[in-house]
Amino acid sequence: MSANETPVIAVEGLRQTYGSGETQVHAVDGVDLVVERGDYVAIMGASGSGKSTVMSILGCLDTPTAGRYLLDGTDVRTLSDREQARIRNRKIGFVFQHFNLIARTSALANVELPLAYAGVPRSERRRRAVDALTLVGLAGRLDHTPAQLSGGQQQRVSIARAIVGEPVLLLADEPTGALDSRSTDEVLDLFDGLSAEGRTLVVITHEDEVAEHAKRVLRMRDGRIEADLRRAPVDAAPPRWRPGAEAS
Amino acid sequence: MNIGESFRFAWRGVNANRVRSALTMLGVLIGVAAVIVLVGVGNGASQSVTQTLSSLGTNTLTVTPGTATSSGLLGLRRSTETPAVGTGGTLIRPETLTAADAAALSTPGAAPDVTAVAPVVSPAGVVASYSDTSHQLGSMTGSTAGYLGIANDTVSRGRAYTATDVAAHARVVLVGPTAAKALAGGDGSALLGQEIRLNGVTFTVIGILTEKGSVGARDQDDRMIAPLSSVQDHLAGYGDLTSIAIQAADADAVGAAQAQVEAILDARHRTGAASRDFTVTSSASMLSAANSITGTLTVMLGAIAAISLLVGGIGVMNIMLVTVTERTREIGVRKAIGADRTEIIMQFLIEAILLAVFGGLAGVLLGVGLCQIPVAGFRAEVDPASVGIAFGFALAVGLFFGIYPATRAASLRPIEALRYE
């Protein structure tokens, strides 16, 4: 598999600076990072450690002040707005802490959204969205709007939305931060299942419980990576994976 | 992503916020409807006046005593004393028109462009009574047989009086529809052939006049016309004439006829252009004066309507700004999952256009509908240009105030839009 030779994420000398002069803040102060295809990485750190800034740069939601970022082999710093939108659409699936579903819009329509922006024909879009919602266990709630779903269900809709376009990278920012412990377990089981299927996941979190599911844990502090712990090989199953648990 | 997809997203956006959408549309609706109705009312008023004045005939002249400063637009006499200075010394003449003036005007060859002359007396406050009913007439006219032709009056039932009736001092009368209804009830036709009393003198109704409609609040059909001789005998006396009605050969000869009439009367009254004690009014000049008044009215109403449209537009702008600000996070989410700037702008633009178009269409329907309701005796006339301009303006407001905030929000970096509170 030649694709395995290209890392999903290759970052060199990443810096993000806000403000100038006396009040200048180095949110990210020189980060080098390579994430192989199929890896499941947790980025941990206290608030202010720079992990959210790293996440927005990795997700092409923000451009770094300095450094090189190759996403699946593409240098994203040189891309136009339209090309960056295409990259986000095709290569990245986002899971946010506060779900960020479109209000007053059905679960199905929310999951179809990335496919609509990708120009997928309607019938295929619908089929794939239904498949994705079935995978996260919400086949019976296609027409529910976010307000009619619990937090855990909303997060599962947003996971369906993130994976429906078959992106190379699944990027989750505090995915369990707004959930109770039962919903947290559901979401983490789903992530384990996706990782076991071979998808690449990067999860930003400050909860040890979440990090325990990852194959590799990075700790950030003051804008730098302080520790890099490998808990399972890239091509192995995630350490806490319970086959079949995600379908419950 | 194609335009159809943007359209579906926009439609969902409009549909997902029904109250806000309805309020936005209401602003546009009221503005557009106001423009259409107000311009329509101005238009209708102007058409109604034009129609009424042209029913007087386009080639008629009216001579009234008094100067332009002392007589109103419609030749109504005022009691202002305007002494005229004659050539042979100081000669103060009252403002009068006499039967001799009328006779001089109708002398063959004196005024070649004048085809008919009718002396008119209009006694005020004539009370008509029939059986137990009495009615004060809006106007009573005594004139010669030629008057009906000059004034463009016809008889809808019965017959007109003739020169023979005038010569015979026949006590016959033609009754306007309003007066006939007031006296006999129903459609008034029962009055035909009956004897009525005018200020106590018996006259026979020989004809019902054709309806003329009203000028504003003034009903032109509340009147009677009788032979000059019998009106002078019994109602007005043999004093001065109220006016002289003159018909020119055709509409183009009105100017020439007016000059001839003025020359003849100036000679008789020993007056000149500056010292004239009479006024010659042509229906054409009344028409143009009335048109300029109603034109001003239309412009004024249009200006008021434009302000209401502007206020509606500001309402749309306000709601659009709030909407986009409120939905900045949604814009961030859409960008995060793959929408580019153009797609975001497109969606919000189409949303704004949808609101403006539906609000505008509803406004057009409401405006045109309201124009169908007759008010104060006339119907508002919808001006297609006002519909176009109002609708176009609504659309432009929707476009501009939809595009502007959406462009701003879509230009934010996705992370800024996502974190927007």
* B372-418 confidence digits (pLDDT tens): 887 766 778 888 888 898 888 888 887 887 778 778 878 888 888 88
Nearest to A39 by CA among A158, A207, A191, A174: A191
| CA-based nearest distance A192→chain B, Å | 23
Best CA proximity match to A206, nearest among A236, A179, A173, A184: A173
DSSP collapsed to 3 states, B172-200: EEEECHHHHHHHHCCCCHHHCCCEEEECC
Interface A-B, measured as beta-carbon pairs within 8 A, has a size of 76
Q: Which of B17, B20, B334, B337 is most worth mutating to test chain A (most A CB atoms within 10 A of its CB)?
A: B337
Task: Report domain extents, chain A.
Answer: 36-62+80-247
- Put simply, the answer to whether B418 touches A61 (Cβ < 8 Å) is yes
Most confident option among A112-121, B75-84, B246-255: A112-121
Q: Under an 8 A CB cutoff, do B1 and A61 touch?
A: no
Interface test with B, best of A18, A28, A89, A163 (most B CBs within 10 A): A89
CB contact under 8 A, A102 and B333: yes
Tell me the three-class secondary structure of chain A, residue by residue: CHHHHCCCEEEEEEEEEECCHHHCEEEEEEEEEEECCCCEEEEECCCCCCHHHHHHHHCCCCCCCEEEEEECCEEHHHCCHHHHHHHHHHHEEEECCCCCCCCCCCHHHHHHHHHHHHCCCHHHHHHHHHHHHHHCCCHHHCCCCHHHCCHHHHHHHHHHHHHCCCCCEEEEECCCCCCCHHHHHHHHHHHHHHHHCCCEEEEEECCHHHHCCCCEEEEEECCEEEEEEECCCCCCCCCCCCCCHHHC
Phi, psi of B321 (to 5 degrees): -60, -45
Tens of pLDDT, residue by residue over B111-159, are 888 888 999 999 988 999 998 888 999 899 999 988 988 888 889 889 9
CB A138 within 8 A of CB A157: yes
Residues 6+ apart with CB under 8 A from A159: A95, A136, A175, A187, A190
> In the prediction, which pLDDT does B197 show?
92
* Residue type present at position B211: E
Helix axes B18-54, B3-16, angle to 10 degrees: 90
Query: How close A237 comes to chain B (CA, Å)?
Result: 28
How confident is residue B217, by pLDDT bands cut at 50, 70 and 90?
low
- Quote the mean pLDDT of chain B: 82
What pTM does this model have? Answer: 0.67
A92-95 and B218-219 as β-strands: parallel, antiparallel, unpaired?
Answer: unpaired
Domain covering A36-62+80-247 assigned CATH 3.40.50.300 in the classification: yes
Taking the mean position of all CA atoms in its chain, how far away is CA A126? 23
Residues of chain B with C-beta less than 8 angstroms from the C-beta of A118: 1, 338
Q: Do B336 and A94 touch (CB under 8 A)?
A: yes
User: Which has more confidence, B58 or B12?
Assistant: B12
How far is Cα B232 from Cα B236, in angstroms, rounded to an integer? Answer: 5
Q: Which of B391, B409, B408 is nearest to B33 (CA)?
A: B391
Angle at B10 (CA atoms; ends B6, B15), nearest 5 degrees: 150
Distance from the Cα of A242 to chain B's closest Cα (Å) equals 30
Mean pLDDT on B29-42: 87
* A62–B418 C-beta distance less than 8 A: no
End-to-end CA distance of chain B: give it in Å, rounded. Answer: 29
Integer Cα distance of B216 and B205 in angstroms: 28
Are the C-beta atoms of residues A143 and A106 closer than 8 Å to each other? Answer: yes
pLDDT of residue A244: 72
Low-confidence ranges of chain A (pLDDT < 50): 1-3, 248
The pLDDT value given to residue A143: 93
CA distance B372 to A224: 76
B20: how many CB neighbours lie within 10 A of its CB?
15
Residue B378 forms beta bridges with which residues? B375
pLDDT score at B202: 92
What integer pLDDT is reported at residue A130 of this predicted model? 95
Judge contact between A33 and A69, C-beta under 8 A: no
B135 neighbors B182 (Cβ within 8 angstroms):
yes
| The token pair that represents B288 in the structure block | 């143009």
Radius of gyration of chain A (CA): 18
| B334·A117 Cβ contact <8 A | yes
Alpha helices in B130-282 (DSSP H): 147-150, 163-167, 177-184, 228-231, 254-269
| B338–A88 C-beta distance less than 8 A | yes
Does pLDDT of B222 surpass 50?
Answer: yes
pLDDT at B240 over 90: no
